[in-house]
Structure 1
Amino acid sequence: MRIAFLTAPEGVEQVELTEPRKAAEDAGHETVLVSTQSGEVQGFDHLDKADTFPVDAVVGEVSADSFDGLVLPGGVANPDFLRTDEKAVAFVKDFFEQGRPVAAICHAPWTLVEADVVRDRTLTSWPSLRTDIRNAGGTWVDEQVKVCGNGPNQLVTSRKPDDLKAFCETFLDVFAQSRKS
């Protein structure tokens, strides 16, 4: 399975990128770090700069049909930058239009809101996104991990770094099941 991890050049919560990526690679999947610019992305440990990671592909030069699923790591700044980038928003929306599974953690649902894909869906996130999700037509719940949808077009969401173990296990299971559908 080939999984895209979409981040902005700055502001990604490092652990929300590295833990899901490691889980996917440990399960034998290929991961591709997609960003809005070539070069590197800067990870953050909350508000402190952490490590950098090489970008594998630039959004706008790849499409959803090249991947089996999409993971959106959080961080406060990361999804805020992504939701202002038309190509990033279109890339996310394309996964939903093609019926491919998507996983998002923490603040990442902001990008889903911008892509107009949360309407009539139930999801979780960092609590401060509750109103944004509701205003976009979604239902917000306070759960460790939430799966919404059936078949290949499922959305997996989680609240925060403390939920990473459940998030990783769930999105890997959902992505594997969607491939069988």
Structure 2
Amino acid sequence: MIALMKGIHIVALSLWCAGLVVLPVILQIYGRREEVRTQAGFSEFRLLVHAAYTRIVTPAAIVAIAAGTVLIFARGLTAPWLMAKLAVVAAMVLIHAWLGHLATRSAEERGSYSMPLALASLPASLTCMAAVLYLVLAKPDLQPLIEALPRDLRVPQGRSIPSTLVPI
């Protein structure tokens, strides 16, 4: 079961990461080609971007996150490196959402819109991918970083909501 989930997670994550690399290239380079200035070329560009984002990259992201969540609960992981990895994955989700926004804008604003810095997401995406790979493979000891945090961020404060206020 765990091996199957790991396999699904790795395959989906690979597709998602490939999409985070390819989508900016399509938006920036293919979107500026002369053929896109015609109606037929623009329709092809719009369908290519839409299909890549909605049929490949987004489902891969959802499957990768779902399989990863199953793995976290199946293995009972709570290590600091995993929490750091989840923060990096959250950054990847933000990049994914931004690329979706750019894809939508490119489809709605034909001709009057030149893609602003779609390729700027590449360094951020590649940095996130490298960070995830490092955190998963090295599983570094992040305890010294945790110790450097202020005490209020490391120690439970004992301030919970009284059970009488929590709706059941």
Which TM-score tier does this pair reach, normalised by the shorter chain? under 0.3
Determine which structure has the larger helix proportion and give its number.
Answer: 2
Structure number with higher relative contact order (C-alpha < 8 Å, ≥ 6 residues apart): 2
- Normalising by structure 1, report the TM-score: 0.22
Q: How high is the TM-score relative to the length of structure 2?
A: 0.23
Compare the two structures and name the one with the higher strand fraction. Answer: 1
Larger Cα-atom Rg: 2
